[in-house]
Amino acid sequence: MIQAGGSAFKRMGVTLAIVLLTILVVTPLFFIFLTSVIPDGQLDLIAPLRLIIDPQLTIVLWNSIWLGLWVVFGATLLALPMAFLSAKTSIGHHRWLDIVLIIPFMTPPYIGSMGWILFMQRRGFLEQMLPFTEHWTPYFFNLFGMVSIMSLHLFPFLYLILRNAIQRIGSGYEEAGSVHGGSFYYRLRTIILPLLVGSYAMGALLVFVKTLAEFGTPATFGRQIGYYVLTSEIHKYISSWPIDFGKATALASTLLTTSLVFWYVQNVISRKFHYQTLGGKGLRQSPLLLVGWRNGLAWLYVVFLLVTSIGVTYFSIVVASLQKLRGNGLAWGNYTLAHYGELLSFGSEGLEALFNSLGLALIAATVAAVLGTFIVMQINNGRTLPQRITDMFSLLPNTVPGIVIVVGLILFWNSPWMPVKIYNTYWMVVLTYVVFYLPYTVQYVKSSFSQIDGSLMSAGRVFGGTPFYSFRRILVPLLIPGILAGWTMTFTISIRELVASLMILPPSMHVSATYIFSQFEQGSVSLGMAMAVVSVGLTTVVLVVANQLIGAQE
């Protein structure tokens, strides 16, 4: 009877998790498809297709695809040499590089774009430091510049995947090729690169999908050069008068379908080109010691990456935040902390926006941590079909572009029949953040949960502990590092979330991301960049403290 009651309780928990995820994630996405095929109250299955073949929207679709392909190319050029240097040469001994190279990926894309705009624009920081570049800087404001900015943001993602893949290959394979007379370039072409195909395909397609889903750079740099993509057009149709949900949902459906197709292609390629490179002999590495001009050339490339991906952005936003008058340029007497004082003064719009960000992120991270932990408890080992469905639904927001999720949430929670009216309120923002970042908590907690031996819970029951006692004294303490890691990730990213904040926030309410965006658009660059510095600094402090706490728990 007790066992039957426990099984019924578990089934009830899994059912509740599926219902919650269906309401939060699946139904809003279904509403996008539903709205796109019923544009005027009548079912029309080819309505999205008719809209997409419109010449203007077709251009937008191809703009997105070409941008994605070029960014994959640019990220590959940046990531592959760095991955090889880190995995196969003495440069890999400098572990601090792995930490530093993550900074571009952790920097909000819209802040990176603003930094590059300030640096490369007419009378920008580059021209002020090197006047002869005034003939070159205008050429940056085109598709090449947009691809460069997005490649510098996304290359760390591809770098980590390729570096890990190269490290797993080991030196034995190359030594075998060398013994049989193969030159370095022959071994590179016939041994290393073929073994990297699966990992590269996975990383490249993820970069492509992330480029399609990106909103920050198209909304800032793309708008300035007149290069419009799916995300920027969806935002325009749903936020500018006259609002056109038909076109917005058609574009959102297209973006969703494209992303899911490429996710599927990535899985197929990864399975097809999967090789076993670790065997019973272990993994032996023989890093190449770089000396002379080779060492100098390698470090020159590393410095180039660090300067372009981190230095330019943070130099531009810090200097802009300190300038008294932008027209006076980089003059010693043209710096002040007054913008920070105005931003953080009591009752200011900037301080209110910062407090809004902190409050929303705190609530969203806590709700996501609780909900994510509950979901992981129901997924358990994922052996049954309902558990696998729960797992798939919980990770769905990670595979869907953020702006598509926002459109679906708006359509669903703003429906006339919706009994709970949270749209256009503070709680709608919290809900959106929770849906966006729930996969982070699920992944981190699932990682901690998978490391727990079931015998620990059995031991608790043997010694007379009730299920709740075992849960509270055994399971929860072991899950705390994963819960805290998921909470931290949700908190830090929610503070600087742009696309959801722009489209969901109630009128006249600002958070740090929308404050930065609006100040930059309105010409109050120094105030906007001061907020950017404060936001990045605050999230960095939170990450450092959280890592210390996680380390203390482990």
Question: Average of pLDDT values for 354-372?
Answer: 93
Does pLDDT of 56 surpass 60? yes
Going by pLDDT thresholds of 50, 70 and 90, the confidence category of residue 58 is: confident
- DSSP letter at 135 equals G
pLDDT, residue 433, reads 94
pLDDT, residue 237, reads 83
Does pLDDT of 2 surpass 60? no
pLDDT, residue 265, reads 75
Question: Average of pLDDT values for 17-26?
Answer: 92
For 62-71, 289-298, 316-325, which range has the lowest pLDDT when averaged over its residues? 289-298
CA gap 287, 83 in Å, rounded: 13
Handedness of CA 353, 354, 355, 360 (dihedral sign): positive
pLDDT, residue 225, reads 93
pLDDT, residue 140, reads 94
Look at residue 323 and give its three-state secondary structure: strand
Does pLDDT of 244 surpass 70? yes
pLDDT in tens, 91-108: 878 888 888 888 888 889
Rg (CA), the chain: 25
Residue position matching structure tokens 């929860």: 476
CB 358 within 8 A of CB 495: yes
pLDDT in tens, 482-529: 888 889 888 988 888 888 888 888 888 889 999 999 998 888 899 999
Does pLDDT of 4 surpass 50? no
DSSP letters spanning 485-507: HHHHHHHHHHHT--HHHHHHSPT
- For 323: left if phi > 0, alpha if psi spans -120 to 50, otherwise beta; the answer is beta
Question: Mean pLDDT for the chain?
Answer: 82
Q: How many CB atoms lie within 10 A of CB 403?
A: 26
With 0-12 CB in 10 A as exposed, 13-18 as middle and 19+ as buried, what is 520? Answer: buried
- CA end-to-end span of the chain: 38
pLDDT, residue 481, reads 81
| Tokens, residue 302 | 């590393």
Task: With CA atoms as reference, report the closest residue to 533 among 214, 250, 315, 230.
Answer: 315
pLDDT, residue 172, reads 52
For 7-16, 392-401, 488-497, which range has the lowest pLDDT when averaged over its residues? 7-16
- The residues that bridge with 323 in the sheet, in sequence order, are 335
Question: Average of pLDDT values for 354-362?
Answer: 93
Cα 487 vs. chain centroid, distance in angstroms? 15
pLDDT, residue 449, reads 72
pLDDT, residue 106, reads 82
Look at residue 9 and give its three-state secondary structure: helix
* Bond prior to 242 in cis (omega within 30° of 0): yes
Cα 183 vs. chain centroid, distance in angstroms? 40
Structure-model confidence comparison of residues 307 and 485, the more confident one: 307
pLDDT, residue 437, reads 92
Does pLDDT of 176 surpass 90? no
pLDDT, residue 182, reads 54
Does pLDDT of 184 surpass 80? no
- The residues that bridge with 335 in the sheet, in sequence order, are 323
- DSSP letter at 261 equals H
pLDDT, residue 90, reads 81
Report the percentage of the chain scoring pLDDT > 90: 31
Distance set, CA 545 to CA 476, 483, 488, 492, 552 (Å): 21, 15, 10, 12, 11
Does pLDDT of 362 surpass 90? yes
| Tokens, residue 69 | 């392909």
CB 501 within 8 A of CB 403: no
For 139-148, 268-277, 390-399, 485-494, which range has the lowest pLDDT when averaged over its residues? 268-277
Structure-model confidence comparison of residues 171 and 330, the more confident one: 330
Question: Average of pLDDT values for 60-88?
Answer: 91
Does pLDDT of 32 surpass 50? yes
pLDDT, residue 471, reads 61
With 0-12 CB in 10 A as exposed, 13-18 as middle and 19+ as buried, what is 152? Answer: buried
pLDDT, residue 87, reads 82
CA gap 233, 226 in Å, rounded: 12
pLDDT, residue 550, reads 66
Question: Average of pLDDT values for 120-139?
Answer: 90
Does pLDDT of 276 surpass 50? no
Does pLDDT of 452 surpass 70? no
pLDDT in tens, 334-347: 889 999 999 989 88
CB 278 within 8 A of CB 434: no
Residues with Cβ < 8 Å from 307, sequence gap 6 or more? none
